[in-house]
A and B are shown apart, each in its own frame.
Chain A
């Protein structure tokens, strides 16, 4: 009844090309933004932030990043965990002050503000991603997936062995020192729940809007052209080298930022094999597939699905039914796995497609003719 295009005439190409062409959608989007920024920070506590909001926000960034590469540009990647590790370790180096040698002398740069450390970590990861994206020019599909798998294993190995990367700490771990923005701590043990939440939310909001802009513009069309038919794309003037590498760069930028936030804000301390192993790569890939390939909304939905579902199941099984925790933990994995398979059989194009179908129906509701 409210969700319709009728009467909402577009008189310019700018209006016609906007992200939410339907008025109701637009208001819903503003409402979500207002709630996320102005209501949620005042009502959440540590439990909500640490078990739900932070993982959701951070995985959503990683999922958008992988979606740009896999969903929009069609290049399958299993290196997400490795790229997140690059982001995390780069962020660690920047926030503790990078030490460099010039002519045998050691110089230490001053620590960089955490906000810029995270962005710089993204940029470093973008370059690393481009490097590992080079094979995509010659190989496609499963073979490329295997090549990116090499990136995953190599990067984890690198941050295990390269002592400079973890500042020669005896444990091989990296620990986020207390850092703040405008005098409010966002990393370290004294961080308030709302500060950590807002810090990640700002990144997610900006990055999601940028992803949407990139994918609806000429860059996104180049990526999708490569994905849908690379030969035709080249014939009409898309440089495949630049299109693929730009997708790798942008995607890795997002994943690097996700990795930096995951380490600095969410975990606080990380060991590379533990935090950024191959299971991370698969988790983010599942989010993208369950959420919907080639959709920014799908990345959100997929991240929410895979973050919330285990928490929900745990609450139902342990608190609701009173099962022992260890039994619940194992069953939880089985149930999540089963649900993913069932879900993909019912809706192979992911949650985003489900959402699209609902919107199609809503446009006609309650008068279907």
Chain B
């Protein structure tokens, strides 16, 4: 079923499309350290794709390659059927790839609303003069985008903290605001770097629900790094397993679960 080029329908009836992004033989080095070694995998439209692996396996580096933060020394990134030239992160963002961070990276001095509005930079192009006079395009864009942002605020149930400075919020809510900011960009691919790290069970359930809802409602492709195996196995359609910068497994959660290399990486092997 995973070989179907036109996509397929999952057991619970979600439509998964063709390949939207493909990583081909990516190698990333920092000086002498090889962070990622010859990794290839693809991401299909509309799926939830997890990247898992022990600490230091290169998962976050992989995400940084996708979001343009690192340019790999070898290998190619193909996006929407075209090879992507080396790009700056803001150029990648403009192509419709949004992300959240492992350590929350919100703008602490701004309100929740302003943080999420900042996510809509791609949709706001009024010139300096229009903005200075608050007339014409600037005002129109502000109102239109505010409407879109309010939908996301509703969706993630953070209406009550709309005008609160982000610095005052508790951890769980900050994570949710960061998701909102990424969503505001209306991305075609959403990269989530450990969205449930440091959360209690209840918050994890909330977050999982939001991730599923985002995927279901907006059809957003999601690439997810997560350590909680229960969450990963429940949420994702396909899983890439990394260890020491290498890919050691790729497939559905069930396939990965029974993969001997994966079990060895997580449980360790006896050296004899």
Q: Which residue of B lies closest to A231 (CB)?
A: B105
**Given A17-B146, A213-B134, CB of A225 within 8 Å of CB of B118:** yes
CB distance from B105 to the nearest CB of A (A): 4
Tell whether, in the assembled complex, residue B90 and residue A224 are in contact, meaning their CB atoms are under 8 Å apart: no
Tell whether, in the assembled complex, residue B132 and residue A213 are in contact, meaning their CB atoms are under 8 Å apart: yes
- Bound together, the chains give a CA A227 to CA B88 distance in angstroms of 19
- Bound together, the chains give a CA A210 to CA B93 distance in angstroms of 29
Chain B contacts for A219, CB-based, 8 A: 128, 131
Q: At the interface, yes or no: B240 with Cβ under 8 Å from chain A? A: no
- Bound together, the chains give a CA A217 to CA B90 distance in angstroms of 19
Q: Which residue of A lies closest to B101 (CB)?
A: A232
**Given A213-B131, A228-B108, CB of A218 within 8 Å of CB of B126:** yes
Q: At the interface, yes or no: B110 with Cβ under 8 Å from chain A? A: yes
Contacting B at CB under 8 A, from A204-235, are: 210, 213-214, 217-219, 221-222, 224-225, 227-229, 231-235
Q: Which residue of A lies closest to B150 (CB)?
A: A13
- Bound together, the chains give a CA A225 to CA B110 distance in angstroms of 8
Q: At the interface, yes or no: B67 with Cβ under 8 Å from chain A? A: yes
- Bound together, the chains give a CA A234 to CA B110 distance in angstroms of 16
Contacting A at CB under 8 A, from B125-156, are: 126, 128, 131-134, 138-139, 141-143, 146-147, 150
Select A221's contact among B108, B117, B133, beta carbons within 8 Å. Answer: B117
Chain B contacts for A235, CB-based, 8 A: 67, 69, 89-90, 93, 99, 101, 105
Chain A contacts for B147, CB-based, 8 A: 13
Chain A contacts for B182, CB-based, 8 A: 236
Q: At the interface, yes or no: B185 with Cβ under 8 Å from chain A? A: yes
Select A234's contact among B88, B101, B142, B143, beta carbons within 8 Å. Answer: B88
Q: At the interface, yes or no: A165 with Cβ under 8 Å from chain B? A: no
Chain A contacts for B150, CB-based, 8 A: 13
Tell whether, in the assembled complex, residue A240 and residue B90 are in contact, meaning their CB atoms are under 8 Å apart: yes
Chain A contacts for B132, CB-based, 8 A: 210, 213-214
Tell whether, in the assembled complex, residue A17 and residue B69 are in contact, meaning their CB atoms are under 8 Å apart: no
Contacting B at CB under 8 A, from A182-223, are: 210, 213-214, 217-219, 221-222
Chain A contacts for B118, CB-based, 8 A: 218, 221-222, 224-225, 233, 236, 238
Main secondary structure of the interface of B (DSSP, over half): helix
Chain B contacts for A14, CB-based, 8 A: 139, 143
Select A236's contact among B114, B121, B142, B143, beta carbons within 8 Å. Answer: B121
- Bound together, the chains give a CA A224 to CA B105 distance in angstroms of 13
Q: At the interface, yes or no: A82 with Cβ under 8 Å from chain B? A: no
Tell whether, in the assembled complex, residue B142 and residue A17 are in contact, meaning their CB atoms are under 8 Å apart: yes
Tell whether, in the assembled complex, residue B131 and residue A218 are in contact, meaning their CB atoms are under 8 Å apart: yes
Q: At the interface, yes or no: B94 with Cβ under 8 Å from chain A? A: yes
- Bound together, the chains give a CA A228 to CA B165 distance in angstroms of 12
Interface centre among A16, A214, A236, A237 (most CB of B within 10 A): A236
Tell whether, in the assembled complex, residue A236 and residue B185 are in contact, meaning their CB atoms are under 8 Å apart: yes
Contacting A at CB under 8 A, from B17-46, are: none
Interface string of A232-251 (1 = CB under 8 A from B): 11111111100000100010
Tell whether, in the assembled complex, residue B94 and residue A237 are in contact, meaning their CB atoms are under 8 Å apart: yes
Tell whether, in the assembled complex, residue B105 and residue A232 are in contact, meaning their CB atoms are under 8 Å apart: yes
Select A217's contact among B67, B98, B107, B134, beta carbons within 8 Å. Answer: B134
Q: At the interface, yes or no: A302 with Cβ under 8 Å from chain B? A: no
**Given A17-B146, A231-B105, A238-B90, CB of A221 within 8 Å of CB of B110:** yes
Interface string of A8-45 (1 = CB under 8 A from B): 00001110110000000000000000000000000000
Q: Which residue of A lies closest to B139 (CB)?
A: A14
Contacting A at CB under 8 A, from B46-103, are: 67, 69, 88-90, 93-94, 98-99, 101
CB distance from B56 to the nearest CB of A (A): 21
Tell whether, in the assembled complex, residue A228 and residue B110 are in contact, meaning their CB atoms are under 8 Å apart: yes
Select A232's contact among B88, B107, B128, beta carbons within 8 Å. Answer: B107
- Bound together, the chains give a CA A210 to CA B128 distance in angstroms of 10
What are 22 A-B pairs with beta-carbon distances under 8 A? A17-B146, A213-B132, A213-B134, A213-B138, A214-B128, A217-B126, A218-B124, A222-B121, A224-B109, A224-B114, A227-B107, A232-B105, A235-B69, A235-B105, A236-B98, A236-B181, A236-B182, A237-B122, A238-B90, A238-B121, A240-B90, A250-B128
